[in-house]
């Protein structure tokens, strides 16, 4: 469904991604974890088409996302950390604007905006100015934006940032529903949250993939007992690293 093959990305002299390869199939929820500076956000930006890789291939539903960026991006919903919203617009106005940019037909705008606001439990804020929303509700609006195009792939960078425990629980349930016919990749520092929603983890360290598999597979790979916590798995993976 979505795949990185031997992808490199540099920022000047810094190599943010170093031969990164992993794939996510339809119906999978994969957690992307790693310490600050590991390359998680860069990997998501490359997958989304926001950044062009220096080397390697990116595939989205069989489309070469480097050669055909727009076609691939149309299949992706991307929620960056701290989504760039327009504080002077009402929630409904912003989502209508974004839906038009994503090619939603004018006759479908109202229904599509209502649909995504319902999915993220934010319909009661449709007429609220974005600048007056709490951080948690801004995050919900960003997620609603990512869902507008009914994408086959969802890329979520720290999606629970700013959410209270009840909102995190609701997001977990929503991701479970969305993953039925989509590929979902989410990055988070909250390992307990990832364990609750992601069947598989891709652990990154130093711009490389340090581990890829289900938590039980990673425990076995790094010689940890079956009772080892996800934090212990994470530490073992980032201390070693696959080459």
What tens digit of pLDDT does each residue of 92-131 get? 999 999 999 999 999 999 999 999 999 888 999 999 999 9
Instruction: Decide if 32 is inside a domain.
Output: yes
Amino acid 136: pLDDT: 83
Do 96 and 180 fall within a single domain? no
Do 235 and 172 fall within a single domain? yes
**For residue 167, pLDDT beyond 90:** no
Tokens (6 digits) for 103: 């090619």
Instruction: Decide if 80 is inside a domain.
Output: no
Q: Which domain holds residue 21?
A: 2-75+151-239
Do 55 and 168 fall within a single domain? yes
Instruction: Decide if 91 is inside a domain.
Output: yes
**For residue 227, pLDDT beyond 80:** yes
Instruction: Decide if 220 is inside a domain.
Output: yes
Do 90 and 209 fall within a single domain? no
Do 128 and 166 fall within a single domain? no
80 versus 128: which is more confidently predicted?
Answer: 128
User: What is the Rg, in whole angstroms, of the alpha carbon atoms belonging to the chain?
Assistant: 18
Mean pLDDT of 1-15: 93
Do 49 and 107 fall within a single domain? no
User: Residue 226: is it exposed, middle or buried by C-beta count within 10 angstroms (0-12/13-18/19+)?
Assistant: exposed
Amino acid 1: pLDDT: 86
Cβ neighbour number for residue 25 with a 10 Å cutoff: 11
Among 150, 170, 197, the domain-final residue is 150
* Strand 63-64 with 14-24, pairing: unpaired
Residue with tokens 């991701």: 175
- From CA 131, how far away is CA 96, in angstroms rounded? 17
Mean pLDDT of 229-239: 82
Instruction: Please report which confidence band the pLDDT of residue 215 belongs to, taking 50, 70 and 90 as the band edges.
Output: confident
| 17-43 pLDDT tens trace | 999 999 999 989 999 988 888 899 999
Cβ neighbour number for residue 187 with a 10 Å cutoff: 24
Q: What distance separates the 2 farthest-apart alpha carbons in the chain?
A: 57
Q: Which H or E run includes 63?
A: strand 63-64
Amino acid 168: pLDDT: 79
**pTM (predicted TM-score):** 0.88
Among 150, 173, 191, the domain-final residue is 150
Do 67 and 18 fall within a single domain? yes
Among 94, 117, 150, the domain-final residue is 150
Residues in a beta bridge with 185: 30, 155
CATH code of 197's domain: 3.40.50.300
Do 30 and 17 fall within a single domain? yes
**For residue 241, pLDDT beyond 50:** no
Do 33 and 144 fall within a single domain? no
Burial annotation 73-90 (CB, 10 A radius, 16+ → b, else e): bbbbbbbbbebebeeebb
Amino acid 240: pLDDT: 59
Instruction: Please report which confidence band the pLDDT of residue 242 belongs to, taking 50, 70 and 90 as the band edges.
Output: very low
- From CA 75, how far away is CA 143, in angstroms rounded? 15
Instruction: Decide if 81 is inside a domain.
Output: no
Q: Which H or E run includes 220?
A: helix 215-221
> What's the mean per-residue pLDDT of the chain?
89
| 169-193 pLDDT tens trace | 877 787 777 777 789 999 987 777 7
CA-closest candidate to residue 32, choices 205, 217, 235, 239: 205
| Tally of domains within the chain | 2
Q: Which of 76-85, 106-115, 229-238 has the highest mean pLDDT?
A: 106-115
| Residue pair 172/17 in contact by the 8 Å Cβ criterion | no
- Distance (Å) of CA 83 to CA 39, 106, 163: 19, 24, 14
- From CA 180, how far away is CA 59, in angstroms rounded? 20
């Amino acid at each position: 469904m979505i795949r990185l093959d031997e992808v490199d990305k540099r920022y000047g002299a810094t190599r943010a991604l170093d031969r990164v390869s992993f794939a996510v199939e339809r119906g999978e929820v994969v957690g992307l974890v790693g310490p600050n500076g590991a390359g998680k956000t860069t990997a998501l930006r490359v997958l989304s088409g926001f950044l062009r890789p220096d080397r390697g291939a990116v595939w989205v539903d069989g489309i070469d996302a480097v050669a055909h960026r727009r076609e691939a991006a149309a299949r992706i919903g991307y929620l960056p950390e701290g989504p760039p919203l327009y504080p002077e617009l009402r929630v409904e106005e912003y989502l209508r604007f974004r839906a038009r940019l994503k090619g939603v037909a004018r006759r479908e705008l109202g229904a599509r905006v209502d649909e995504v606001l319902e999915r993220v439990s934010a319909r009661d804020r449709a007429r609220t100015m974005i600048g007056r929303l709490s951080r948690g509700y801004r995050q919900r609006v960003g997620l609603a934006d990512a869902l507008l195009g009914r994408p086959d792939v969802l890329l979520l960078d720290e999606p629970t940032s700013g959410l209270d425990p009840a909102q995190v629980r609701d997001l977990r349930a929503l991701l479970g529903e969305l993953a039925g016919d989509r590929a979902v990749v989410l990055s988070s520092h909250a390992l307990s949250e990832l364990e609750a929603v992601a069947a598989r983890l891709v652990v990154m360290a130093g711009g490389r993939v340090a581990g890829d598999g289900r938590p039980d597979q990673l425990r076995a790979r790094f010689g940890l007992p079956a009772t080892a916590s996800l934090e212990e798995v994470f530490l073992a993976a980032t201390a070693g690293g696959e080459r």
